[in-house]
Amino acid sequence: MKAKFGMGIFTISDASEILQIDRSKIKYWFGRYVSGEFNKKSNQGYFYDSGKVIAVNFLTLIETYVFYQLKEKGVPTKSIVKAHEVLSKYHNTPYPFALEDFLCSGRDLWQKIGDDFISLDEKRQYALIDVILHFSENIDFMKDYASKYYPRGRTNSVVINPQNQYGSPIIDGTNIKASTISGLFLGGEESDFIADLFEIEERKVVEAISFAA
């Protein structure tokens, strides 16, 4: 699949940093999910492969998190793949796990997937729903799909927006990369000077430094 402007480009390291998931696990799911089971069942490419590095777009990044959480809660890979296939056909999209309807549907989630998913006991089911709903609280949606992700929550200024800087973490409302601010700080510049330089609040500088660290 060729990279498309506005969709973002995320490597294994990027995904690990943004989703706060161990790099080895992201690498596993990129291989198992991105270029494995899901890719076999769809004509849609889920990854960019330059021959040297594998990367995904923003919607696949979101789906990777959902896939990871489902697996962490004990849902078999076969069931997740089947659920993805069923929902993909139901919603006519290759990215059903990134839909607002899916991420924010709560208990209705299980009814829509039905018997093709898995029967979890009530305690585990609600725990899983809570995880996904909490994740969705930090996501903005546009035209039914995830469009922005706030990795440290909405009260933090760092945001992932595939429309800006190919999805690199930036200060919300700007095109300033968190890594740029962190680089200046590590180079010896004070946070108040950096804030003046970019004409942003010092709080946002501190948040960018913290995230990059």
pLDDT, tens digit, 9 for 90 and up, residues 63-82: 999 888 888 888 777 778 87
Architecture of domain 152-213: Orthogonal Bundle (1.10)
Domain boundaries in the chain?
1-136, 152-213
Calpha distance 22→27 (Å, rounded): 9
Element (H, E) at 190: none
Residue 42 has pLDDT above 70, yes or no: no
Calpha distance 188→115 (Å, rounded): 58
Structure tokens at 201: 């609040």
Q: What is the pTM of this model?
A: 0.85
Mean pLDDT of 42-69: 78
